[in-house]
Amino acid sequence: MARYQLQLLLSSQPEALAKLFLLIRQGRLSLLEANVKQEESGVFRAELLIDGRVEKINWLINKLMFYPYFKKIEPTPIEVS
């Protein structure tokens, strides 16, 4: 099991947020925290804390960039004590 913080830049469409949470569900990952903010330009900036099997987290990171809703993703592994 691993924990990651994901920082994402999403398109301004609400579909982008829905897709993000659907993918987390599809990957059977646990969402521990989510902060979403719309910037002045309209794009969404999201910061997530997720738990799950490392293969599934990698899958999510790669899968997100498969969809045009997602412009940028920065994953950071988090030490779990």
Partner 1 sequence: MKAVNQLVNKMEELGVDVIFGIPGGSTLPLYDALYDSNIRSILMRHEQQAAHAADGYARVRKKPGIVTATSGPGATNLITGIVNAAMDSVPIVALTGQVTRPFLGTDAFQEADIVGLVLPHTKYATTVLDPKRLAKEFVNAYYCASTGRPGPTLLDIPRDVMQEDIGNEFNDQISPDPEFCRKPGMPPESEFEKAASLISSANKVAILVGGGVHFSGATQEVLRLAELIGAPIVTTLPGKTCIPQDHPLAMGVVGMHGRLEADMAIINADLVICIGTRISDRAVGPHNEFQRNRKIIHIDIDASELGKNVTPSVRLNGDAKQVLAKLIDRLSTYSQPNNDPSWVEKLRELRRAYEEYLLSQSDESRVNSWRLVKLIREEIPRSAIVTTGVGQHQMWAQLFFEVLEPGTYITSAGLGTMGFGLPAAFGAKVAAPDRIVVNIDGDGSFQMTCQTLSNIAEYNYPVITVIFDNRSLGMVRQWQDLFYMKRFKDVDLTELTNFVKLAEAFGVEGVLAQSYEEVRKALRRAVRNDEAIVIDVPIDKNEKVFPMVPPGKWLAEYISPPGFEAHGKISTSIITK
Q: Binding to partner 1 by residue 62, rule CB under 8 A?
A: yes
Q: Binding to partner 1 by residue 69, rule CB under 8 A?
A: yes
| Residue of 13, 4, 9 lying closest to 53 (CA atoms) | 4
Q: Rounded distance, CA 31 to CA 49, Å?
A: 6
Beta strands in 13-63 (DSSP E): 30-38, 44-52
Q: Binding to partner 1 by residue 18, rule CB under 8 A?
A: yes
Q: Binding to partner 1 by residue 31, rule CB under 8 A?
A: no
Interaction residues for partner 1, span 33-52 (CB under 8 A): none
Q: Binding to partner 1 by residue 68, rule CB under 8 A?
A: yes
